[in-house]
Amino acid sequence: MKTISSLIDSPWQAAQRLSPGRDLFHISGGEKEWIPATVPGYIHQDLVRAGAIGDPYFRMQEMGARWVDEADWTYRTTFIVDAERFASRGEHGRHFLRFENLDTVARVFLNGTLIASVENGMVPHRFDVTETLREGENTLRVEFDSALRVGQERATEYLGDGTSTRGSQSYFNFGPRAFLRKPQYMFGWDWGPELVSCGIAGPVELITVPVAEIVDVRVDYTFTDPITVDMRVLVTVEKYAPSPVVLSSALYAPGDNTPSALIPDAPGRHTVELRTYGQKVALWNPNGLDVAPSVGGLRPKSTGPQKRYLLNLKLLGTDSLDEFDQPTLLHLRGETIGRAGVDRKNGKSHHERAPALGNGDRLEGHLLIRERIGKRDLGTRLAVHTHAQAANTPVLAPQILVLTVAVKDRERGDLGVAIRVRL
Residue 42 phi, psi dihedral angles, 5° rounding: -125, 160
The beta strand positions in 100-244, using DSSP E, are 102-103, 106-110, 113-118, 125-128, 136-144, 187-189, 192-194, 199-200, 204-209, 212-225, 228-239
What pLDDT is stored for residue 69 in this prediction?
A: 96
User: Pick the residue with more confidence: 142 or 412?
Assistant: 142
66-78 pLDDT, tens digit each: 999 999 999 999 9
Say if residues 206 and 81 touch (Cβ distance below 8 Å). yes
pTM of the predicted protein model: 0.73
106-127 pLDDT, tens digit each: 999 999 999 999 999 999 999 9
- Asked whether the domain spanning 211-422 has the same topology as the one spanning 4-206, the reply is no
Q: Determine the average pLDDT of the residues in 389-394.
A: 29
Torsion of CA 347, 353, 354, 359, to 10 degrees: -170
328 pLDDT band (50/70/90 cuts)?
Answer: low
- CA gyration radius, the chain: 25
User: Pick the residue with more confidence: 348 or 82?
Assistant: 82
Torsion of CA 175, 178, 179, 183, to 10 degrees: 120
Domain 211-422 fold is Immunoglobulin-like (2.60.40)
Q: Residue 192 in 3-state DSSP? A: strand
386 pLDDT band (50/70/90 cuts)?
Answer: very low
Average pLDDT, the chain: 76
Largest Cα separation within the chain, whole Å, is 84
What pLDDT is stored for residue 1 in this prediction?
A: 66
Dist. CA 315–CA 213, nearest whole Å: 7
Residue 269: half-sphere exposure toward Cβ, Cα within 13 Å? 5
Which residues, in sequence order, are CB contacts of 412 under 8 Å at separation 6+? none
Q: Residue 250 in 3-state DSSP? A: strand
Spell out the domain ranges in the chain.
Answer: 4-206, 211-422
User: Pick the residue with more confidence: 31 or 166?
Assistant: 31
Dist. CA 219–CA 236, nearest whole Å: 12
CA nearest to 249, candidates 310, 308, 309, 311: 311
What pLDDT is stored for residue 337 in this prediction?
A: 56
Q: Residue 245 in 3-state DSSP? A: strand
CATH class, range 4-206: mainly beta
The pairing of beta strand 204-209 with beta strand 94-99: antiparallel
Say if residues 169 and 178 touch (Cβ distance below 8 Å). no
